[in-house]
Chains A and B, each alone.
Chain A
Amino acid sequence: MDKETLAITLGIIFGFAARLRLLQSDYRQYPTYPHGQVIHLALGLIASALGAVAIPALLKPDYTAVTFLTLAAQQFRDVRNMERETLQKLDETELVPRGFSYIEGIAMVFEGRNYIVILAALFTSAAVMFGGWITGVVVGIVAIVLSSLLKSGKNMGQIGAVYEVPLRVEGASLYAADIYLMNIGLPDNRKRILENGVGIVIEPLNASSRITISNLGQRQAILHDVSSILGVTRDSGEPALTPLAKLDLKDGRLGLVTLPQEKNIPKIIQVIKNVPVLESAVRKPNQFDAKKQV
């Protein structure tokens, strides 16, 4: 086998392995069905083939082959649109929707992962071309490990303290501790919310996390995750039984009422702590430098 073929083969193998490793179905239950997974694996295979071919083509030298890479980037941007559209359609049938920010985050990840696959394949094939097949294998394994590290972002537990508070009703108003949540007209609904509901407060740790927590998309993501993992006592035609999050404007604490089917407080707190911090919700006012001239 000549060097080019070996480089391309190893590049594809490691690129594909990286995609396999990044594709996991977890509690978000997406993509779950084999067909959904096949779509992403097939795209991953194409991505790895593209990455693997680039360096051998450059060395050959076959410069036109490299221009195909730009064409490929265009292809993978469509992945994001595809995911966004699917998830938005599905969101309409959710009792507690994910919200646009969460969907955008997931769609972005799907696009990003294809680029990671291209890079992993590219580095592997480059290593084979300049080193040998052993170097290629080592670089490929390192690339897969690095790509797994890129997978994880921050979660809510790192930016806020999460604890349970009692829910109470004053007249028709529902409060979580001292944070006003909503006005519930029917006494029957008030009773059901007090019975099934769990009040939670998320206290931001600093100024940056205060802004993140106040983001509406981030709040919806928290409510969606709690509802999808622990179930939700809700149905259509029951608008009062809506999990809800409201801010205390004075100190930035977020008060939530969740309506889990399984009233397991430590688990609810753990689920909230594991909710990913959405990229679109992150702001960093701490890094603003007043002395710096813009």
Chain B
Amino acid sequence: MNEKILAIITTAPDLVAGGGSPVFVTKDEEELLERAFLLEKILDAMVHKLNESTYIIVKH
């Protein structure tokens, strides 16, 4: 198992509980996408969409 969640970005913090990876809470979807894009570039890890309000950054 090499996959690891490096970060969670969400607009609905009540749906996400901290479990070892940092959680970034954003106001709206626009900010969510912008944050996800930045983290993708910084961490060189892939952005996956879990649902409309939550994205995760996964190192493959």
Partner of B40, one of A187, A239, A242: A239
> Given A183-B49, A186-B36, A187-B33, A239–B55 Cβ distance below 8 Å?
no
- B45 to chain A: closest residue by CB: A239
Using C-beta atoms within 8 Å of the partner chain, give the interface range for chain A: 10 to 19
User: CB distance A183 to B48 under 8 Å?
Assistant: yes
With the chains together, A186 CA to B32 CA distance in Å? Answer: 10
Most A C-beta atoms less than 10 A away, residue of B37, B44, B46, B56 = B46
Q: Is the CB of A240 within 8 A of B47?
A: yes
CA distance A136 to B28 in the complex (A): 82
* Distance, CA A242 to CA B40, complexed state (A): 14
Chain B 28-60 interface mask (CB, 8 Å, partner A; 1/0): 000001001100110011111100000110001
Q: Is the CB of B41 within 8 A of A185?
A: no
Report whether A172 and B48 are in contact in the complex, using a CB–CB cutoff of 8 Å: yes
Interface residues in B11-31 by Cβ distance below 8 A to A read none
Q: Which of A144-178 contact B (CB under 8 A)?
A: 171-172
Main DSSP-derived SS at the A contact region: loop
Assembly CA distance A227 to B47 (angstroms)? 23
Contacts A186-B36, A186-B37 hold; do A239 and B44 have CB atoms under 8 A apart? yes
- Residues in A with CB closer than 8 Å to B37 are 186, 188
> Are A240 and B33 closer than 8 Å at their CB atoms?
no
A185 to B33, CA, bound (A): 9
Residues of chain A within 8 A of B48, CB atoms compared? 172, 183-185
Determine the distance from Cα of A157 to Cα of B48 in the docked complex, in whole angstroms: 34
The answer on a CB contact under 8 Å between B36 and A185 is yes
- Contact between chains at B47 and A185 (CB < 8 Å): yes
Contact A240 B44 (CB under 8 A): no
Q: How far is the CB of A209 from chain B (nearest CB, A)?
A: 28
Evaluate whether A186 and B44 lie within 8 angstroms (CB atoms) in the complex, with A171-B49, A239-B60 already known. Answer: no
A261 interfacial by beta-carbon distance below 8 Å:
no
Given A186-B33, A186-B36, A237 contacting B44 (CB threshold 8 A):
yes
Using Cβ atoms and an 8 Å threshold, which residues of chain A touch B47? Answer: 184-186, 189, 240
Q: A185-B49, A239-B60, A242-B46 are in contact. List 8 more A-B contacts (CB 8 A).
A: A183-B48, A185-B56, A186-B37, A187-B33, A237-B40, A239-B44, A240-B40, A240-B46
Q: Which residues of A contact B (CB under 8 A)?
A: 171-172, 183-189, 236-237, 239-240, 242
The 8 closest A-B pairs by CB, nearest first: A185-B47, A172-B49, A239-B46, A185-B49, A183-B48, A185-B48, A185-B55, A237-B41
